[in-house]
Amino acid sequence: MIQLSPGTVLYVFTAKDGREVILRTPKWEDIDDALEFINSLVEEDAMILMNTKKTREHEIDWLADNLKKLEKGKMIMIAAEVDGRLVGIVEVRPHFGKMSHVGSLGISVKKGYRDIGIGVDLMKEAEKHAIHMRLKTMQLEVFEKNERAVHVYEKMGYKVTGRIPEGVLQNDEYMDVLIMTRKLPSS
Ligand SMILES: CC(C)(COP(=O)(O)OP(=O)(O)OC[C@H]1O[C@@H](n2cnc3c(N)ncnc32)[C@H](O)[C@@H]1OP(=O)(O)O)[C@@H](O)C(=O)NCCC(=O)NCCS
């Protein structure tokens, strides 16, 4: 398994709007940005599972747990940084036991930083590490009406391979949840 230490710079690129984006592993110093980021997603009612704001204590536990797993090579977590602020995160968590070759992916980019290519590049970087980790298949779940996310996943080669009818309730409306998967090339 590959191990990534906190704060390691992985890739730097120029976004479609000209801003410099640094893709790196998260670090302790991200704690306040990470809290603000997740709570901003809850506040805008983004199409993610989380529907209540997090406390700083919860976020500390989340970051501590994930940094530990990152250092042990048990998960992939990559942050996007613009102008010194955390504006995006992708995570890949391998399943366990007989499904440990399948990685579950989650991604979000902050409002104000979307549609400039950060999501696609975060996914490409995550996939590179997933291949090194010898994962064979990537899996994710997305709300059916999350058109931007579905577009990005299809662009990355994911196909709809399952569906949970009325799997999510948002604003008193049930929506299907799509399960999308992609077979990874071998390392
Ligand atoms: C989904 C998300 C991760 C994508 O990240 P991003 O940085 O905006 O993605 P990119 O800029 O790389 O690509 C966005 C693409 O969507 C396209 N797009 C934007 N709005 C769209 C829409 N309503 N329908 C279809 N495509 C759309 C853009 O044109 C662009 O496509 P292109 O590169 O082919 O031109 C990000 O928008 C996000 O975090 N959204 C809120 C939280 C969320 O939904 N997370 C995913 C949960 S499954």
CATH number at residue 127: 3.40.630.30
Smallest CA-to-CA distance from 138 within 107, 95, 74, 184 is with 184
Residue 115 CB less than 6 A away from ligand 1: yes
Q: What is the pLDDT of residue 74?
A: 94
Pocket test of ligand 1: the residue of 114, 124, 164, 170 to mutate, having most ligand atoms within 8 Å of its CB, is 114
Residue 90 CB less than 6 A away from ligand 1: no
Task: Answer yes or no: is 154 within a domain.
Answer: no
Task: Answer yes or no: is 175 within a domain.
Answer: no
The domain total for the chain is 1
Q: What is the pLDDT of residue 5?
A: 85
Low-confidence ranges of the chain (pLDDT < 70): 1-3
Pocket test of ligand 1: the residue of 38, 91, 151, 180 to mutate, having most ligand atoms within 8 Å of its CB, is 151
Structural domain boundaries, residue 119: 9-140
Q: What is the pLDDT of residue 1?
A: 53
Task: Answer yes or no: is 66 within a domain.
Answer: yes
Q: What is the pLDDT of residue 2?
A: 61
pTM (two decimals): 0.97
Other Cβ atoms closer than 10 A to 35: 21
Task: Answer yes or no: is 37 within a domain.
Answer: yes
Q: What is the pLDDT of residue 187?
A: 73
Q: What is the pLDDT of residue 4?
A: 78
Smallest CA-to-CA distance from 79 within 70, 88, 71 is with 88
